[in-house]
Amino acid sequence: MTTNIATHALAGIRIAGLIKSFTTPQGPVHAVRGVDISISPGETVALLGPNGAGKSTTIDMLLGLLPPDAGSVSLFGLSPANAIAAGAVGGMLQVGGVIQYLSVRELITMVASLYPQPLGVDEVIQLTGITDLAGRSTTKLSGGQAQRLRFAIALVGNPDLLVLDEPTVALDVEARRDFWTTMRRFTDLGKTVIFATHYLEEADAYADRIILMAHGKIVADGPATEIKATVGLRTIRATLPGADPDVLRALPGVTNAEIRGEGIILNCSNSDRALRALLAASPDARDIEVRGAGLEEAFLQLTGDTGTGEEAVR
Amino acid sequence: MSGVTYARFELLRTLRNRQALVFTVIFPVIMYFLLAAPNKDNHNFGGDAKHPTGLFAPQYYMVGLLAFGAMVAVLSSGARIAAERTIGWNRQLRLTPLSTAGYLRTKLLTGYLMAVSTIVLLYVSGIMLGVRLPFGNWLDMTALVLLALIPFAALGVAMGHLLNDDSAGAALGIGASLFAFLGGTWFPITGSGLFVQFCQLLPSYWLVQAGHVGLGAGANPWGAKGWLVLAAWSVVTVAFAMWAFQRDTHKA
């Protein structure tokens, strides 16, 4: 594996005490409120959180596109600007058009020429599955095709760190799967990848590690399995008048319980066990509904706030 | 890391942009033939029997239209930064080893290359209509025109970093027309009235005068005043462009 800068275990990615606020007509918005992250080379990390959690702001500061109010970022022992100048970084940002008057192949070649040790243009075209589009004008692409081109642009410099801000947001299910298959081939080369997403399934399926963000802070950080157990993958809703939340919380497979009027909501790490135990303990529970937990609910559970009152983060 | 490949593709993009190509290169040439061909025997352009100007009409229009085309070429190259900013391409480029200075250099280079193409095409057109100059005059004229383009190149960059895609297009159209009109691109600005004195403070006036170095109508029109106006505009516009550039690249 060739790298653009000498990487070693001690010099991964370090983010310390990152803070960023914006001034808006509605008053100050505290987008990132003290974030510390440490990532080893070769890790694939998902930055997971609902819209407004501060993921994009964190990524912009990680890439040196936005100066932090406080805190520091080090990429392989270098400042973001120096790491980028060394060709160590590739990225796919949330807002990103591609320039016109070039073919797909020409645009990829143009970007490759800016890096000291790029991958082969043909190799990248093949890897991202755009061989058929190589001669097409960059303005004549569908949303999914443009996304693959942007992915090719991010990869072609052969960066040590690849940063993807919600890379699959515009894609349908099949295109999303294709995207991650390609991604896997790239991470197999031993690259460090950080991607932001608000899909729990995506983070779970493709990251070694998940960092959960809400309201500009990290609320959980660990291996995907651990995070899943923490947030509970499914919820059980039922009607059960007079239920005792403490009793419900003690049921096997339940991570948290909430009473809403006559209804109950159980967040479950194992919904099968929880449902059996619930029916055994309270046979009169009715209107039972089991479903995948929405990320929003998971965050409410983790952050313990009601989702109202807090400032709206952009 | 070859800036050459990057510049080559930038140039290719500029040449493929038909709309811009028509506006900066084709339009001045067509206008030239429309205006100059009917006057190709007029050696007293803008004058009469009592007040001879000694201006050869095809030469006068050659200078005026190359000034216009070259001005639009460097202005629009800078203004194209606005289009790339609007779609988020500049942020994408900031993740590559291309420096912001390198990006700017390439934009200026392509602008100047387009300006030179316009100038050469108009020289050829002028020669076709009978313009004859000593070789040294062609060189002096070209060098002065390229220098006099500096304020316009800087204004283009400033527009590129301050405006969005649409408003940059509008500003370019209005700005270029006004500067060209008041600079004497379309008709000779002569005399000593207040209007003329105002026009003589504009960089476009001297851009046109730069082309008049070879007109041979008496004294060299480019003097200390020309250098002074050009220097002042260059300093102010370059500072303005740098401010706009810094302001834009240091925010989100």
Q: Please, are residues B60 and B215 in contact by the beta-carbon 8 Å criterion?
A: yes
Q: Tell me the pairing of strands A70-75 and A254-260.
A: unpaired
Residue A153 to residue B12, Cβ atoms within 8 A: no
Predicted pLDDT of residue A3: 54
Does any CB of chain A come closer than 8 Å to the CB of residue B178? no
Percentage of chain B lying above the pLDDT 70 cut: 95
Residue B97 to residue A93, Cβ atoms within 8 A: no
Nearest-by-Cβ selection for A114 from B12, B13, B96: B96
* pLDDT of A310 strictly over 50: no
Residues listed for chain A: 314
Does any CB of chain A come closer than 8 Å to the CB of residue B99? yes
Nearest-by-Cβ selection for A96 from B13, B88, B96: B88
Predicted pLDDT of residue A308: 39
Predicted pLDDT of residue A143: 83
Instruction: Tell me the residue type at A305.
Output: D
Residues listed for chain B: 252
Choose among B162, B152, B151, B149: nearest CA to B245.
B162
Chain B residue with Cα closest to A165: B92
The whole-chain average pLDDT of chain A stands at 86
Nearest-by-Cβ selection for B1 from A101, A116, A163: A116
- Determine the average pLDDT of the residues in B23-39: 91
Q: How confident is the model at residue A234 (pLDDT cuts 50, 70, 90)?
A: confident
* pLDDT of A9 strictly over 60: no
Supply the DSSP string of B48-116, one letter for each residue: -SSS-----HHHHHHHHHHHHHHHHHHHHHHHHHHHHHHTTHHHHHTTSS--HHHHHHHHHHHHHHHHH
Q: Which pLDDT tens digit goes with each residue over A135-162?
A: 999 989 988 889 899 999 999 999 999 9
* pLDDT of B252 strictly over 50: no
Choose among A254, A301, A259: nearest CA to A276.
A254
Cα A204 from Cα A227, distance rounded (Å) = 9
CA distance B168 to chain A (A): 17
Q: Alpha-carbon dihedral of residues B64, B65, B70, B73, nearest 10 degrees?
A: 140
Residue B1 to residue A84, Cβ atoms within 8 A: no
Most A-contacting residue of B14, B76, B96 (CB-CB within 10 A), to test interface:
B96
Q: Which pLDDT tens digit goes with each residue over B166-219?
A: 899 889 889 999 999 998 887 777 777 888 889 999 999 999 888 877 665 555
Predicted pLDDT of residue B125: 96
Q: What is the ipTM of this complex?
A: 0.86
CA angle B100–B104–B106, rounded 5-degree value = 120
Residue B99 to residue A85, Cβ atoms within 8 A: yes
Residue A99 to residue B89, Cβ atoms within 8 A: yes
- Determine the average pLDDT of the residues in A216-244: 83
* CA B165 vs CA A295, B83, B172: distances in Å: 38, 5, 11
Q: Please, are residues A195 and A167 in contact by the beta-carbon 8 Å criterion?
A: yes
* pLDDT of A313 strictly over 50: no
* CA A39 vs CA A13, A74, A111, A160: distances in Å: 5, 11, 27, 13
Q: Tell me the pairing of strands A161-165 and A89-92.
A: parallel
Q: What are the start-end ranges of the E strands in chain A?
A: 13-24, 27-39, 44-48, 70-75, 89-92, 161-165, 192-197, 209-214, 217-223, 234-239, 254-260, 263-268, 286-292
- Cβ neighbours, 10 Å, residue B49: 6
Residue B94 to residue A67, Cβ atoms within 8 A: no
- The tokens 């260059």 sit on which residue? B234
Most B-contacting residue of A63, A113, A158 (CB-CB within 10 A), to test interface:
A113
Q: How confident is the model at residue B93 (pLDDT cuts 50, 70, 90)?
A: very high
Cα B91 from Cα A257, distance rounded (Å) = 45
B95 Cβ contact partners less than 8 Å away, ≥ 6 residues apart = A63, A84, A89, A90, A91, A93, A154, A163
Q: Which domains does chain A have, with CATH numbers?
A: 13-229 (3.40.50.300), 234-292 (3.30.70)
CA distance B246 to chain A (A): 13
Q: Chain A to chain B, count of Cβ pairs less than 8 Å apart?
A: 83
Predicted pLDDT of residue A7: 46
* pLDDT of A113 strictly over 50: yes
Q: How confident is the model at residue A311 (pLDDT cuts 50, 70, 90)?
A: very low
* pLDDT of A231 strictly over 70: no
Q: Which pLDDT tens digit goes with each residue over B58-86?
A: 988 999 999 999 999 999 988 889 999 99
Predicted pLDDT of residue A112: 96
Predicted pLDDT of residue B222: 78
Number of H helices, E strands in chain A: 11, 13
Q: Output A270 or A122, whichever has higher pLDDT.
A: A122
Lowest-confidence region among A29-43, A222-236, B48-62, B174-188: A222-236
